[in-house]
Amino acid sequence: MSKPISIIVAGAIGFAAIVIILVIVFQGSARIPDMPPDRSRYPEQALTPEEITVNVTPRSDGSLQVSQRLIFDVTDEMKKPLSWYIGGEQIGWNTGVGDGPRYYVLPQVGEVSAQELSTAEGSTKENPAEVGDLTVTRENRSIDDPFSDSAVYDFTREKQAGEDSQWTPGRHVVDITYVLDDVYLNVDGHELFVLPLRFPSGSNEAPSMRTVSLEAGGPIQCLPDHTEFDPDAECTGLDKHRFTDDGTRLTWSEETSPSIEAIGFAAPENMQAEPIDAPERERS
């Protein structure tokens, strides 16, 4: 092979190698993070300071049964490490009128209970060791406006033997269950369940890995807050997220304040209740 030809061939091979490397690097940087590995021992749980795993079961009466597992870290500076703010969420506005009203979901919360699980060496998902039930207290804010009002739930635990504080620094695992009503809505002709993405959580400053799984119904769609009502099947408002193939499980990374306030999904076929019209409020 003559020298000019060998130089050209070598150059082409080098260029192809660079292209392949760039493609691999781009795919690695653009890839949506995978779910954290499924670990059986509670001390191994959570690759981030907080993980929230939520299972949602639609009920035929139009309510949602929610079961949540919260894994979070407590520091010495936290006075109330575990709390929950829940209230009305805006889910877009009327698309057919120029300056139409805003749509909301105003969930009614009931049957809240919580239990702490042990993070000791022998505590596993198959055979979890229980620490005890948490005390749940609700504080209603005195705001005479259902669209702006919210309830605050605090979760407290009894001080255990040998502990100096109510919530000892370190990792904690808590199971929380509750029911949401007034969340089966007719929104601009769309009949769907609406789940607000405000969950009981630890410090809102901590990075959080969150997963919502549907036991029935679906697929999941993200709902807008400050745009026209238009359910987004791709959830483009979430920077780092991924779906399962059937769209019934959504995982995302919550770095700071939430960019999506609620998700929606079609009801299963066994519904007995009719959806209620979504509450509306005129835009000011």
Is residue 98 within 8 A of residue 198, CB to CB? The reply is no
Residue 149 forms part of a structural domain: yes
Residue 250 forms part of a structural domain: yes
Q: Place 185 in a pLDDT band, splitting at 50, 70 and 90.
A: very high
Per-residue pLDDT at 18 exceeds 50:
no
Residue 259's pLDDT is 67
b/e string for 108-129 if b means 16 or more Cβ within 10 A?
Answer: ebeebebbbbbbeeebeeeebe
Q: Identify the domain containing residue 103 by its residue range.
A: 51-277
Q: Place 19 in a pLDDT band, splitting at 50, 70 and 90.
A: very low
Residue 199's pLDDT is 93
Q: How far apart are CA 122 and CA 39, in angstroms?
A: 13
Mean pLDDT of 237-245: 86
* Average pLDDT of the chain, as a whole number: 79
Residue 162's pLDDT is 65
Residue 144 forms part of a structural domain: yes
Query: What is the chain's alpha carbon radius of gyration, rounded to the nearest angstrom?
Result: 23
Nearest to 243 by CA among 26, 68, 32: 32
Is residue 133 within 8 A of residue 122, CB to CB? The reply is no
Per-residue pLDDT at 93 exceeds 60:
yes
Residue 230 forms part of a structural domain: yes
Instruction: Dump the DSSP string for 68-114.
Output: EEEEEEE-TT-SS-SEEEEE-EEEEE-SSSTTPPEEEE-PEEEEEEE
Domain harbouring 188, CATH code: 2.60.40
Residue reference for tokens 């739930």: 153
What one-character DSSP code corresponds to residue 201?
A: B
Is residue 54 within 8 A of residue 68, CB to CB? The reply is yes
Q: Place 22 in a pLDDT band, splitting at 50, 70 and 90.
A: very low
Residue 55's pLDDT is 97
Q: How many domains does the chain have?
A: 1
Residue of 28 and 235 predicted with greater confidence: 235
What one-character DSSP code corresponds to residue 35?
A: P
Residue 97 forms part of a structural domain: yes
Residue 37 forms part of a structural domain: no
Residue 14 forms part of a structural domain: no
Residue 265's pLDDT is 97
- Which tens digit of pLDDT belongs to each residue from 130-178? 888 999 999 876 666 666 667 889 999 887 666 666 788 888 899 999 9
Residue 22 forms part of a structural domain: no
